[in-house]
């Protein structure tokens, strides 16, 4: 409620202001204490305005996350599949840390009882992340001749981010060592078995 006499916001301007407020509130009080009332207050608006758009704090958080995720981002080209995959895992890790373990789990928990929200989250974020990140890395490796494209399955494409997500969800952090073990003990052997020359 900072805007006593300021002008009344509408449409996208309002919506963006609310989603920004969600993020601030999330950073300030954490996900478990993220309430509609708190967000409304911080955004200088009221609950009904929020409820006209989203149906719960988790819904709000999902929209906020979708809003903040960079639309497209690329993994740096390090010259090799191994280097690129490390970069891929590191980037994915950063993305996850931005959201945080608790928020990620809460969003997933919510989504598990709401097929509609599931589409938004899973397809809108998870799948996109995989496509944008893993996609680049593998396309490049195929161009280099390190990888035979026709043997790349969906499972293998998802694998790096799946392993990272699992680790992050369980422990809340992922060490350098963990990344290396995923890479050298699982990902690369699995790729080699499908014809990767690395």
Partner DNA sequence: TCCATCAAGATACGGACCGTATCTTGCGGA
Partner DNA sequence: TCCGCAAGATACGGTCCGTATCTTGATGGA
Residue ranges binding a copy of itself (CB under 8 A): 30, 32, 101-102, 105-106, 108-109, 112-113, 122, 126, 153-156, 159, 162-163, 165-167, 169-170, 172, 181-182, 185-186, 189-190, 192-194
Q: How far is the CB of 119 from DNA (least distance, A)?
A: 20
> Residues 16, 28, 30, 51: which binds DNA (CB under 7 A)?
51
Nearer to a copy of itself, 102 or 139 (CB): 102
- What single-letter DSSP state applies at residue 79? S
136 binds, among a copy of itself, DNA, none (CB under 5 to 8 A by kind): none
Closest CA to 198 of 153, 131, 154, 137: 137
Asked if residue 67 lies in contact with residue 130, where contact means CB atoms within 8 angstroms, the answer is no
Q: Does 142 bind DNA (CB under 7 A)?
A: no
Question: Would you state the structure tokens that stand for residue 184, as one six-digit string?
Answer: 């050298």
What is the spatial distance between Cα 164 and Cα 114, in angstroms, rounded to a whole number? 25
Q: Does 70 bind DNA (CB under 7 A)?
A: no
Q: Does 11 bind DNA (CB under 7 A)?
A: yes
Nearer to a copy of itself, 18 or 96 (CB): 96
What is the spatial distance between Cα 103 and Cα 30, in angstroms, rounded to a whole number? 8
Question: Would you state the structure tokens that stand for residue 11, as one six-digit string?
Answer: 């449409």
DSSP code string of 148-159: -GGG--HHHHHH
Strands (E) in the chain, as ranges, are none
Residues that bind DNA (CB under 7 A): 1, 3, 7-11, 14, 33, 35-38, 44-49, 51-52, 55-57
């Amino acid at each position: 409620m900072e805007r006593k006499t300021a002008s009344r916001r509408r449409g996208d301007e309002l919506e963006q202001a609310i989603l920004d407020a969600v993020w601030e509130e999330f950073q300030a009080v954490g996900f478990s204490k993220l309430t509609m009332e708190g967000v409304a207050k911080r955004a200088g608006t009221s609950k009904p305005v929020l409820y006209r758009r989203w149906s719960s704090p988790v819904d709000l958080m999902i929209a906020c996350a979708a809003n903040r995720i960079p639309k497209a981002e690329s993994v740096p080209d390090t010259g090799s599949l191994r280097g690129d995959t490390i970069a891929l895992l590191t980037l994915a890790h950063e993305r996850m840390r931005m959201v945080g373990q608790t928020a990620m789990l809460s969003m997933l928990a919510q989504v598990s009882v709401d097929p509609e929200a599931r589409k938004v989250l899973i397809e809108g974020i998870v799948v996109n992340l995989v496509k944008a990140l893993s996609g680049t890395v593998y396309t490049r490796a195929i161009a280099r001749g390190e990888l035979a494209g026709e043997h790349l399955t969906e499972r293998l494409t998802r694998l790096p981010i799946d392993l990272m997500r699992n680790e992050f969800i369980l422990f809340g952090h992922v060490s350098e060592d963990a990344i290396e073990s995923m890479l050298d003990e699982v990902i690369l052997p699995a790729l080699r078995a499908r014809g990767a020359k690395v």
